[in-house]
Amino acid sequence: MHTVITAARLCTPEKWIEHPVVVVEDGCITDLQSRGAAAPQPGRLLEFPDLILAPGLIDIHIHGGASHDVMEPSDSALAQIERQLIKHGVTGYLPTTVTAPDDRTLQAVERLGKAIERVEKDYGRAQPLGIHLEGPFISHEKRGVHPPENLVRPSPEAFDRLWQASRGTIRMLTIAPELPGALETIRYARKLGVHCSVGHSNATYEETASAIAAGADHATHTFNAMRALDHRDPGILGAVLERDELTADIIVDGIHVHPAIVELFLRAKGPDRAILITDAISATGMPDGVYKLGSLEVRVQDNRCEYDGKLAGSVLTLDRAIRNVMSFSGLKLDQAAKLATLNPAKLLGMQQERGFLAPGARADMVVLTPDGQVMHTIIGGQIVEA
């Protein structure tokens, strides 16, 4: 039976549709028109007369939430993280690892790979779309809180071990371009369809340009854990802001990056190449205290996550990031939503099914107030209760 969903407005997010009528069958959108043009449709009706429909949000960099970390050796940890994500409108995400001992990383990506295959048809919670490997191929100088003893020199062979363990489910690799073996590793990963993201790096502009030529196509939490910008030595950050070949993500929590720098970032990358992420850890949605990031114990107080005096992820949620970027930069709701829907979907090559509302796409949606507050999350045409 069809499900028919109506609302005051719909953000595709590239255009607005007034008084939309969305018809859903077997978890996908089969028709989308404005009420005036749409013929009456039989079926179950979901009505949101004063609210806005938008695509389900996609977070490509998240370590955990609800007191759980994605690297935990527990089948229930991901389920609890995913139930929290739907509270905030997230319907797809990349579980993100942190540098750890080799055996623990291999066990984690193997477990995540199996989970990604297992929940592919599960409409009851946010869906893991692939693994984001953050570390171990990052620089000592810009490692942040990643344990130095577990950093690894990149090589195609080292990456292939992780790829095989993950059952081919790694979708993104953060890598420092200046490391010996990085360019060969980028070329190998790209042949496998893995998106290579420059980050946690002290690279020069020239080294970053070489990584782009090798196939790097993204940048991880821009400004954080990167060589500082200098007018005579632009470094990795200069390349990230200047080169159109790279999309780039940013943590808009008001802690990692000043609001004025958020505006600079958006002007540099433009509306099609900027992506919002959370870098959220297990403390997200929890009270202040001490929480895990991989094997690290991170202290959280007043929305600030620190380990040994350094920032260690965030407690940001993606819906909050959308509202923050609207506040910091003056973007409209549709412009801000695009940074957490269509743009990450395009990066992952999923824009035909996710991140955009049109016939043929998955019926994954978030129901919003005009100021971006999440009221409901819909997965496969069904309202999901967290």
Query: Mind telling me the catalytic residues?
Result: 279
CA-to-CA distance for 133 and 232, rounded, in angstroms? 32
Q: Is 36 left (phi over 0), alpha (psi -120 to 50) or beta?
A: alpha
Q: Which helix (H) or strand (E) holds 218?
A: strand 218-219
Q: Are strands 16-18 and 57-62 parallel, antiparallel or unpaired?
A: unpaired
Asked if residues 248 and 261 have their Cβ atoms less than 8 Å apart, the reply is no
Report residue 372 CA to chain centroid gap.
18
CA-to-CA distance for 7 and 119, rounded, in angstroms? 29
Task: Quote the longest CA-to-CA distance of the chain.
Answer: 65
Residue 152, burial from CB neighbour count under 10 angstroms (0-12, 13-18, 19+): middle
State the Cα angle at 365 between 363 and 371, rounded to 5°. Answer: 160
CA-to-CA distance for 176 and 200, rounded, in angstroms? 6
Which pairs from 191-198 meet CB under 8 Å and 24+ separation?
Answer: 192/163, 192/168, 194/163, 194/170, 195/171, 195/347, 195/348, 196/172, 197/172, 197/173, 198/174, 198/236, 198/239, 198/240, 198/246
Half-sphere exposure for 151 (CA within 13 Å, toward CB): 20
Contacts of 31 (CB under 8 A, 6+ apart): 21, 22, 23, 38, 41, 359
